[in-house]
Chains A and B, each alone.
Chain A
Amino acid sequence: MLEISNLVAGYGGVPILRGVSLSVGAGEIVAVLGANGVGKTTLNRAVSGLIRASSGDIRFDGQSLIARSAPDIMAAGLIHVPEGRKIFPNMSVFENLELGSYRRARANRARNLERVFGIFPRLRERSGQFAGTLSGGEQQMLAIGRGLMAEPRLIIMDEPSLGLSPLLVEEMFALIARIAAEGLAVMLVEQNVVQSLELAARAYVLENGAVVMAGSAGDLSRDPRLMTTYLGM
């Protein structure tokens, strides 16, 4: 469904990603793991059209996404739930969700709102409240809920566990599993190795802007090299 090949991207001519190749199949949960600064967020930003790749190719359903704008890419059904949530703090929870369907699935807005409120009952309780006043966990729920409003075919989750308490992290991963169980493809980009590997079918490990390990989640979680690479020991 998503095919990334030899992707090179960065900022101001300095490459952060140095030839990344990976793929996500339909209905599959794929984890992209790596410590801070290995290029995970750059990868997401390039895929969702926020920055331009300098070479390589990104294909979604066979169509190249290179040189397409962020709104166009999301209109194709590739939804990016960004790191740091990027919700609209000055608007109500309800309005935040409405804007999730600004460009895509607008006709199904009412139905999808009910669906999101079903998954995240907390958002229904808080629907009139300014999003900026939510707790970190609630803001993450809102960011995911806003993404779901567009009826994603593939959703990129960038560090959904960042800044959450261990209990909330458990809850967040359980929710992602539940969303994915409905047949949605998920690219889970995380630092949280153990929990991500429990959830994902396959995983890639990034280091210095390149894929250094790839395989099934089961194999990787038993691989002693993972801990060495990941912890830099």
Chain B
Amino acid sequence: MLKLDIFLSALANGLMTGAVYALISLGLTLVYGVLHIINFAHGATLTAAMFAVLIAHTVFGLDPYLAVFVLTPLFFALGYGVQRFVINPASHGNDSNILLVTLGLSIIIENALLAGFRSDTRSIDVPYGFSVVEVGNLFLSVPKLVAFVASFVVALLLWLLLAHTDTGKAIRAVAKEKTGAALSGVNVDHIYAVTFGLGAACLAIAACLLMPTFLVNPRIGNAFVLVAFTIVVLGGMGSIAGALVGGLIIGVVESLSGLYFGESLGQIGIFLIFILVLLFRPTGLFGAKA
């Protein structure tokens, strides 16, 4: 039965990692769905958020799970401000310009972090970092379990916001019909900025959930965003449900291919899936036709 236990434990680990991947993908897919651009600064923003957790812990002694209540509103405000006062004015209403501005931002953020923190890899020590909980024959890492549950809660909150609040409805309206929304009294620039802020807020939460078990260096965000990009394509560009299901699938695939092909080849399965999706279902699992 040892074989089955190992398989189940890899599966559980994959699901737990996948939930955090899903959270990172949510922000990416939301911004894509509404602004119709890939936010190239997504990875750098995640890195910045992870450093923010590091600073909160080392300088202010704040636990990551408490820091989430400070960093989430802070990153929402930063995302809002950057879109409203930097990206939007610099883009002159041209989508390809937005793309380049976010690319520029990512370079600035990454190099600022590199200048400030050097390229060292750092991590934080929390008392519960290695605690486990026993479920049947499985030992599950407590911080990963927390991340799993929290990611679902965030996805649910995001869905409630989009489905049931006026702001959420305005976000969905702007996504498909800017002019109609403006004529209904929606301030399109404001809604763009709110969407960007939500994307950044998701990353702040993801950073707080990751840091207890993960390390940070100035380029760490890119590794996650490459995976997140695969998830967004797999789930369907702009689809919230797609990001969630896609995240879990990718997490499991990575974990299982790590188990069978060895740790260093863990990501091979992800990119195999990426290519297969592009070949056979380019709109993704939940994606509508472009």
B187 sits at the interface (CB 8 A): yes
Q: Which residue of B lies closest to A81 (CB)?
A: B183
Q: What are the interface flags for A121-155 relative to B under an 8 Å C-beta threshold, 1 for contact and 0 otherwise? A: 00000000000000000000000001000100000
B179 sits at the interface (CB 8 A): yes
Partner of A87, one of B175, B177, B185: B177
Q: State whether A98 touches B166 (Cβ < 8 A).
A: yes
Q: Is the interface of A mostly helix, strand, loop or mixed?
A: loop
Given contacts A82-B179, A86-B179, contact A71 B173 (CB under 8 A): no
Q: What are the interface flags for A32-45 relative to B under an 8 Å C-beta threshold, 1 for contact and 0 otherwise? A: 00000000000000
Chain B residues, Cβ within 8 Å of A102? 166, 169-170, 184-186
A64 sits at the interface (CB 8 A): no
A202 sits at the interface (CB 8 A): no
Partner of A91, one of B173, B182, B185: B173
Given contacts A87-B177, A90-B176, A99-B173, contact A80 B183 (CB under 8 A): yes
B57 sits at the interface (CB 8 A): no
Q: A86–B176 Cα gap in the complex (Å)?
A: 9
Chain A residues, Cβ within 8 Å of B184? 74, 99-100, 102-103, 146, 150
Partner of B185, one of A89, A90, A95, A104: A104
A173 sits at the interface (CB 8 A): no
Q: State whether A90 touches B180 (Cβ < 8 A).
A: no
Chain A residues, Cβ within 8 Å of B175? 90
Q: What are the interface flags for B159-189 relative to A under an 8 Å C-beta threshold, 1 for contact and 0 otherwise? A: 0000000100110110111011111111100
Q: A69–B190 Cα gap in the complex (Å)?
A: 13
Q: Which residue of A lies closest to B288 (CB)?
A: A90
Indicate the size class of the contact surface on chain B: 10 to 19
**A192 nearest CB across to chain B (Å):** 22
A180 sits at the interface (CB 8 A): no
Q: State whether A86 touches B166 (Cβ < 8 A).
A: no
Chain B residues, Cβ within 8 Å of A85? 180
Q: State whether A87 touches B180 (Cβ < 8 A).
A: yes
Q: Which residue of A lies closest to B33 (CB)?
A: A90
Q: State whether A50 touches B185 (Cβ < 8 A).
A: no
**B49 nearest CB across to chain A (Å):** 30
A75 sits at the interface (CB 8 A): yes
A169 sits at the interface (CB 8 A): no
Q: A89–B172 Cα gap in the complex (Å)?
A: 10
Chain A residues, Cβ within 8 Å of B185? 70-71, 74-75, 102-104, 150
Q: State whether A48 touches B183 (Cβ < 8 A).
A: yes
Q: State whether B177 touches A89 (Cβ < 8 A).
A: yes
Partner of B183, one of A86, A89, A90, A91: A86
Q: State whether A91 touches B169 (Cβ < 8 A).
A: yes
Q: Which residue of A lies closest to B187 (CB)?
A: A71
Partner of B180, one of A49, A71, A82, A150: A82
Q: A95–B177 Cα gap in the complex (Å)?
A: 14
Chain A residues, Cβ within 8 Å of B181? 88, 99
Chain A residues, Cβ within 8 Å of B169? 91, 95, 98-99, 102
* Chain B residues numbered 135-181 whose CB sits less than 8 Å from any CB in chain A: 166, 169-170, 172-173, 175-177, 179-181
Q: A88–B182 Cα gap in the complex (Å)?
A: 12
Chain B residues, Cβ within 8 Å of A80? 183
Q: A50–B172 Cα gap in the complex (Å)?
A: 20
Chain A residues, Cβ within 8 Å of B186? 71, 99, 102-103
Given contacts A98-B166, A102-B166, contact A70 B173 (CB under 8 A): no
Q: State whether B180 touches A91 (Cβ < 8 A).
A: no
From B166, B169, B177, B184, name the one whose CB has the most chain A CB atoms within 10 angstroms.
B184
Chain B residues, Cβ within 8 Å of A69? 187
Q: A182–B69 Cα gap in the complex (Å)?
A: 52
Q: A139–B44 Cα gap in the complex (Å)?
A: 43
Chain B residues, Cβ within 8 Å of A99? 166, 169-170, 173, 181, 184, 186
B residues adjacent to A (C-beta < 8 A): 166, 169-170, 172-173, 175-177, 179-187
Given pairs A79-B183, A99-B181, A102-B169, 14 additional interface contacts (CB within 8 A): A50-B179, A70-B183, A71-B185, A71-B187, A86-B177, A87-B177, A88-B172, A88-B181, A91-B173, A99-B184, A99-B186, A100-B184, A106-B166, A150-B184
24 contacts between A and B (CB under 8 A): A50-B179, A50-B183, A70-B183, A70-B185, A75-B185, A79-B183, A80-B183, A82-B179, A85-B180, A86-B177, A86-B183, A87-B180, A88-B176, A90-B172, A90-B175, A91-B173, A91-B176, A95-B172, A98-B169, A99-B166, A99-B169, A99-B170, A99-B184, A103-B186
A residues adjacent to B (C-beta < 8 A): 48-50, 69-71, 74-75, 79-80, 82, 85-91, 95, 98-100, 102-104, 106, 146, 150
The 9 closest A-B pairs by CB, nearest first: A103-B185, A86-B180, A70-B182, A71-B185, A88-B173, A74-B185, A90-B176, A71-B187, A99-B184
